Structure 1
Amino acid sequence: MNPLLNIAIRSIHQIGKLILKMYDENPLYRSIDHYKMINPLFERIKKIVISTIFQHYSDHELFLNEKRISFNNKTCQKKTRWFINFLEDGVNWMKKIPHFCTSISIYQKERMIILVIYDPILNEMFSANRGGGARLNQYRLRVQEKSSLNASIILSVNQIFQKDVDHLSKYLKILHILLKNYLVRITGSISLDLAYVAASRIDAMILIGNGKEINQKISRISLLLKESGGTLIYGKLLNINSREKKERTKKNEFSSEEEKEDHSLQIVCAGSFRTTKSITKFLKNQFNISFFKE
């Protein structure tokens, strides 16, 4: 086994064990503020990371939930970076909904080479090694083509919709069309959704939301799908129509920040080649969406 993958699996097992222990121990978490519970958990997991990963790779650069971790103030070489998301979805975990995971992605020279996603509830380890395929608990994963799409689709929702009314209205229109034609499930964990697509438990995943946030999230977990033979297709739906944009431009209603931003709704479809092609074609016929392969 790849040494980096071996340490990643060992570390994620320990992190998952702690998360599961805290999940089982105290039934009162659901009444405690989210951040009051997550912050102590962060510190305990930080100790695990230092004792496992830094013990073997003290010169690597580590990020725990996007926060850089230093070890004895030692200078890190940035050729190898570890990104650890210790809890997704935190809300499910707090509310005692048994659907959450932890993940580790390792980059070398800005290219992801290893990904591990661990579900501590089911003790399922999804892993991918660039060029070495994808596995679930050591069993190789391959995305299976479907003869019919009369099955489930996972629809993962980005929280941007709670703040952006215009995005929310467009999302609801897309959701309405999907509900009329497919079986839709919403779980709260994007990483597990994609892992289930790679394991052919789910036919496809459709992720809708802010382009920057989605691209960052997908880039950290896409290796599992690619190594299992799956396909990712990206699309954009304009956040404001061209006529409205022209009117606002004439009135100089755009701020300098707005002009630089991409006013669009990002749509990502993940699954087998045939399935993603069929779904994106269907959505393109219903909405003004431009789809392009990654």
Structure 2
Amino acid sequence: MESTKNTKDSGNFLNTAVELALHAGQLIKRMAKQSHTITFKGAVDLVTEADVASEALVIAGIKERFPDHGILAEEKGIEQGESEYLWIIDPLDGTTNYAHGFPVYGVSIALEYRGEITVGVVYEPNLDELFTAEKGKGAFLNGAPIRVSETRELDRSLLATGFPYNFRTDPDRIIKLFTGFSLNAQGIRRAGAATIDLISLACGRFDGFWEFGLKPWDMAAGGLIAAEAGARITRMEGRSYDIRVPEIVASNGFIHDQMLAVILRSFS
């Protein structure tokens, strides 16, 4: 049973996500000017002090407002709550970019209720762009409605992708698919932040996106925003998309079947 506080504040989930994403985004932007303390979760999987500070800020804000909600955060893992709400947090998507001073990164906050993402917020502090969505209510950039592109041919499309952290030990399928799309699309960009790729799809900057090896926090908020902007999202073979399955194909809808055909040819 949801607490009295949850019932009272049920209309404030989006506002909470917006407030915390803005605060965390400004924090990591300020910290970007400092030298970084970098630790490694893997050979190419970095963590900075900004990841930790941003995540702590967001978690503290959620716990203050909704103390019985669960939290799934990239650095701290999952903390089960007593309610059916689960906040999914990427405190700094694009950490490698951030550590190298490449200004493509953001904060991602999503809310899941009974297995469905209902709120998604992504803030890109360098461009001061706030992307928001609620399930069934459309997607917005700084308060203005956004839609996916209307590009209808793959060979006229600009795509985005990323390489998973295990790329060095399992490069074959990644290279095969990258080659397949390189030969069939107008262009491909690899900016290093799946969340940013998804919001860029949502507002029509990209026409399609695919990636292996993703985590729930990479897809939860950006996936909802893209879907609410009209995107079609599936797994690689076309089955239903699931943030707990580590792969995604997302498009403006018009080129989706063409993308799936490239994937099939690449692996057949």
TM-score for the superposition, normalised by structure 2: 0.81
Which range moved further: 56-65 or 122-131? 56-65
For 1:134-149, list aligned pairs within 5 A.
134-149=139-154
Tell me the residue number matched to 1:226.
227
Q: Measure how far apart 1:119 and its partner are.
A: 0.4
Say if 2:202 is the partner of 1:198. yes
1:105–1:151: structure 2 CA closer, same or farther, 3 Å change rule?
same
Secondary structure at 1:181 match in 2:
coil
Deviations along 1:198-239, one digit per CA (max 9) or x if unpaired, are: 1110111121x34xx467743553211211111013225xxx
Maintained 8 Å contact 1:143/1:230: yes
Residue 55 (structure 1) aligns with:
64
* Maintained 8 Å contact 1:106/1:112: yes
1:281 to 257, 261, 266: 261
**Matched residue of 2:166: which SS?**
helix
Q: CA RMSD in A?
A: 2.8
Q: What letter matches 1:233 in structure 2?
A: T
Aligned pair in 2 of structure 1 residues 235, 65: CA closer, same or farther (>3 Å)? closer
| Structure 1 pair 215–6 and aligned structure 2 pair: CA distance change class (3 A) | closer
TM-superposed CA distance for 1:68, in Å, is 5.6
Question: What does the per-residue CA deviation read over 1:254-279, in whole Å, with 9 as the maximum and x for residues that have no partner?
Answer: xxxxxxxxxxx976321122111122
Q: Which has the higher helix share?
A: 1
- Structure 1 unaligned segments of length 5 or more: list them: 237-264, 289-294
Question: Which residue number in structure 2 is paired with residue 256 of structure 1?
Answer: none
Aligned with residue 15 of structure 1, among 13, 17, 24: 24
Q: How many Å separate the matches in 1 of 2:221 and 2:141? A: 18
Partner of 1:253: none
Q: Deviations over 1:57-115 (max 9, x none)?
A: 22222333252687xxxx94231111211011111000000001110011112221101
Aligned length in residues:
246
The one of 183, 187, 190 aligned to 1:186: 190
| Aligned equivalent of 1:6 | 15
Q: Which of 71, 91, 105 is matched with 1:100 structurally? A: 105
Structure 2 gaps, min length 5: 1-9, 238-244
Partner of 2:191: helix, strand, or coil? coil
Separation (CA, whole Å) in 2 of partners of 1:8 and 1:215: 17
Aligned-pair identity (%): 22
Q: 1:12 to 1:274 in 2, by over 3 A?
A: same
In structure 1, what is the equivalent of residue 179 of structure 2? Answer: 176
The 5-angstrom pairing of residues 1-294 of structure 1 reads 2-24=11-33, 26=34, 28-29=35-36, 32-34=37-39, 38=47, 40-42=49-51, 44-45=53-54, 47-49=56-58, 51-65=60-74, 67=76, 76-149=81-154, 150-164=156-170, 168-182=171-185, 183-207=187-211, 209-210=212-213, 213=214, 217-219=218-220, 221-236=222-237, 268-288=248-268
**CA separation of 1:55/1:171 partners in 2, compared to 1, >3 Å: closer, same or farther?**
closer
CA distance in 2: counterparts of 1:52 and 1:169, whole angstroms: 42
- Give the drift of 1:54: 2.6
| CA radius of gyration, larger in | 1
Aligned residue type for 2:38:
D
* Offset at residue 46 of structure 1 (A): 5.0
1:184 is displaced (CA, Å) by 1.2
Deviation at 1:51, TM superposition (A): 5.0
SS in 1 for 2:109: strand
Q: Give the conservation status (yes or no) of the 8 Å contact 1:233–1:276.
A: no
Q: Distance in 2 between matches of 1:160 and 1:145?
A: 34
The C-alpha deviation readout for 1:16-54, integer Å capped at 9, x for no partner, is: 111000002x2x43xx53459946435533553355323
**8 Å Cα contact 2:55-2:91 kept in structure 1:** no
Task: Measure, in 2, the Cα distance between the counterparts of 1:215 and 1:61.
Answer: 14
Q: What's the TM-score once normalised by structure 1's chain length?
A: 0.74
Q: Distance in 2 between matches of 1:117 and 1:224?
A: 9
- Equivalent position amino acid for 1:188 in 2: G
Instruction: Say which SS state the counterpart of residue 6 (structure 1) adopts.
Output: helix
